[in-house]
Structure 1
Amino acid sequence: MLRTATIAGLATAVPVALGTDFASADPGVPGPLVLPPATEEITRLNLHVPEAHLRDLRQRLAGVRLPERETVADNSQGVQLAKLTGLLEYWRTRYDWRRLERRINALGQYRTLIDGLGIHFLHVRSRHADATPLILTHGWPGSFVEFLKAIGPLTDPTAYGGTAQDAFHVVIPSVPGFGFSDRPTSTGWTTARIAAAWAELMERLGYRHYIAQGGDWGGGITTQLGKLRPKGLIGVELNFPEYTFSPPVSDDPTAAEKTALAQIQTFSTQYSGYFQEQSTRPQTIGYALADSPAGQAAWIYEKFLDWTDNTGRPEGVLSRDDMLDNITLYWLTDTAASSARLYWQNYGASGLTRLDLPVGLSVFPHELVRGPKIWAERAYSDLVYFNDRIPYGGHFAAFEQPLLFTQEVRNFARIVK
């Protein structure tokens, strides 16, 4: 029987089972990784990926077969051969997965069974007892990894230019089908259903009031949480609203609306190939990505290249280790297909959910679409915060600019808490 403990400082004592480990079905054979079955207890996850899986990854990278170089001088045909070759060589010879493993084990990661699925999450309590609980939700091709650099500023504000009143207790779940959360085995896991699971998670943790934040699919999940309005949710802050590609446009668009609509058109014609594939045939692309680490790396690296605020190379914003932490997580957990199914599951759903609780919106300068304030005002009757004058950052706001991201969350929280 597992030993139990409680998370100190919560309004309600929360039992935490101790001593479980991440393993594989056969430690000598790199087959599917096997997580300890989740229960309704909150169970500590001590992560140690068997060495056989890391050895298999390096062997696959050593024998990778790549196509010839692109026939253009830019990335208009996709990730350039020279860039990917350098990333793969670094991955094979220098990248250290154990570094990330130690870090997230030290932060505190857990699993609990909600609505039939084991949900993984990081939970980092601030040393400031009166800190505001905050749930952060990632999108694709992100993960909990993209928030790691923001945890320090969020939980320990006095060390990062804030005050004790700016402190947060941080909860960062992995969306079903991503990371160390279970992969759904049937349909039905929409953004609304995930939002309901988040509401249950926060209640199970004993939080009686909290703020939710998200971008990309995390923005959709957070919006649905706002629509659900569970007891305790005091507001939502977004950096990529759910309505981005189906905005509330007026019959006579303003100049700002026309600019944003042009950005939507550019995305649709130049950058949406992944979206079409994952929305319609996620299983097919899943075979290729599950079998080839080079393919998985290119599939995700392309988004870091196109969607970050960079000058032609994402390494100017995110280190190779940063990017490979996220890519390796997808590879080791074999979640290429299951994460892609989130697009299929929600394909064609309405992209405009109107909210009447306090909402904040942060528009980073290199976002895919920089929606104007008028769209937010039409969608959210209680828009209490809007900022489109952030100096740096792109689609992966917390990953690229953790301090600016933290400041946006602080600004919103100061208004609503």
Structure 2
Amino acid sequence: MRARLTAARLPETETVYRAAPDPRRWQQGVPLAELVDVVNHWRTEYKWRSFEERLDRNGQFRTTIDDLGIHFLHRRSARADATPLVLTHGWPGSIAEFVDVVDELADPQDADAPALATDGLTAVERKWTEETRDFWRHRAAYAKQQATRPQTIGYSLVDSPVGLLAWILDEFAECSDTEDSPFETISIDRVLDDVTLYWMTRTGASSARIYYESHNSLDPELRVDVPSAVTMYPRDIEKCPRPWAQERYRQIVRWRSPESGGHFPSLEVPRYFVKDLQEGLAAVLSA
């Protein structure tokens, strides 16, 4: 991997070049200067083995579900009465999203955690719908590509570490609650943990297929009748007004819309994420 990074052939700088900090730097995608800095860090300073050791300490396992090989971490709680909890991720996420919050979830410092604890749209909800529509119209090229031709982009994602980095880094920048760079809230090593995990395991193509397999398969008539807790982070890529959410989730027992956070809250606002998850689960269990 380091040899490939050293030999990487990069394009010229973007034609919307501006000096940092400036959110407009990302209008054509990942800025060349940003990518060069991350590639150099990845090649010379990043330590994959330390992340590998963290995964081993949590407990790594493999199983087969419906003939599909699944890798997962299983961290047992220190408490015999703990409630089992499954944390899942989407793309371009991975188990790297949760390594910084699993300790507090499995062995919380607060001895009482998980205990019991409109008509029309508001102005904020209307803004959510506008932002969601804007995302799908102007900023969702990666999703369209992976939902229609995942194999084609998959060759680049599996073969080129720099190509994979740029493809994923663009989404961290797009979906994070930041002004200029995703590294304002997410550490560069945590992003590289995520990207390296994809590259080492050659899963750039297979992971992209979730879009092809899922985008047209959801039943529009599906209704969820079990108690549900929902949190809408302000910089997530899709934000649904509560009246619309209640059409599908028929028993929302807790609804939160915090002041900060994006598509990767466990990386951006880990303390809030853990507390919110504990309180949401408590509300579901009490219901």
TM-score under structure 1 length normalisation: 0.63
Give the equivalent residue in structure 1 for 2:95.
144
Matched, 1:110 2:54: no
Greater relative CO, 1 or 2 (CA 8 Å, sep 6+):
2
Matched, 1:121 2:72: yes
Give the equivalent residue in structure 2 for 1:369.
238
SS in 1 for 2:179: coil
Structure 1 unaligned spans of 5+: 1-56, 168-249
Please give the alpha-carbon distance, in whole angstroms, between the structure 2 residues aligned to 1:369 and 1:117: 29
Please give the alpha-carbon distance, in whole angstroms, between the structure 1 residues aligned to 2:219 and 2:260: 27
Compared CA separation, residues 400 and 89, structure 1 to 2 (3 A): same
Shift of 1:58: 0.1
Give the equivalent residue in structure 2 for 1:64.
8
Please give the alpha-carbon distance, in whole angstroms, between the structure 2 residues aligned to 1:410 and 1:301: 29
Structure 2 unaligned spans of 5+: 19-24
The partner residue of 1:298 within 166, 178, 191 is: 166
Compared CA separation, residues 351 and 78, structure 1 to 2 (3 A): farther
Matched, 1:132 2:132: no
Shift of 1:351: 6.4
The partner residue of 1:270 within 138, 144, 148 is: 138
Letter in 1 for 2:111: T
Shift of 1:287: 0.9
Shift of 1:164: 4.5
Letter in 2 for 1:150: V
Letter in 2 for 1:348: N
Cα deviations across residues 216-235 of structure 1 (Å, max 9, x unaligned)? xxxxxxxxxxxxxxxxxxxx
**Structure 1 stretches of at least 4 aligned residues deviating more than 6 Å after TM superposition:** none
Letter in 1 for 2:252: L
Aligned residues: 274
Contact 1:157 1:166 (C-alpha < 8 Å) held by counterparts: no
Matched, 1:383 2:234: no
Contact 1:128 1:164 (C-alpha < 8 Å) held by counterparts: no
Please give the alpha-carbon distance, in whole angstroms, between the structure 2 residues aligned to 1:101 and 1:256: 42
Matched, 1:94 2:45: yes
Q: Which has the higher strand share?
A: 1
Letter in 1 for 2:232: V
Letter in 2 for 1:373: R
Letter in 1 for 2:198: Y
Q: Which has the higher helix share?
A: 2
Cα deviations across residues 191-220 of structure 1 (Å, max 9, x unaligned)? xxxxxxxxxxxxxxxxxxxxxxxxxxxxxx
Contact 2:129 2:241 (C-alpha < 8 Å) held by counterparts: no
Please give the alpha-carbon distance, in whole angstroms, between the structure 2 residues aligned to 1:386 and 1:254: 15
Contact 2:121 2:241 (C-alpha < 8 Å) held by counterparts: no
Give the equivalent residue in structure 2 for 1:218.
none
Cα deviations across residues 14-57 of structure 1 (Å, max 9, x unaligned)? xxxxxxxxxxxxxxxxxxxxxxxxxxxxxxxxxxxxxxxxxxx0
Q: How much is the aligned-residue C-alpha RMSD, in angstroms?
A: 1.8
Contact 2:185 2:268 (C-alpha < 8 Å) held by counterparts: yes
TM-score under structure 2 length normalisation: 0.90
SS in 2 for 1:306: helix
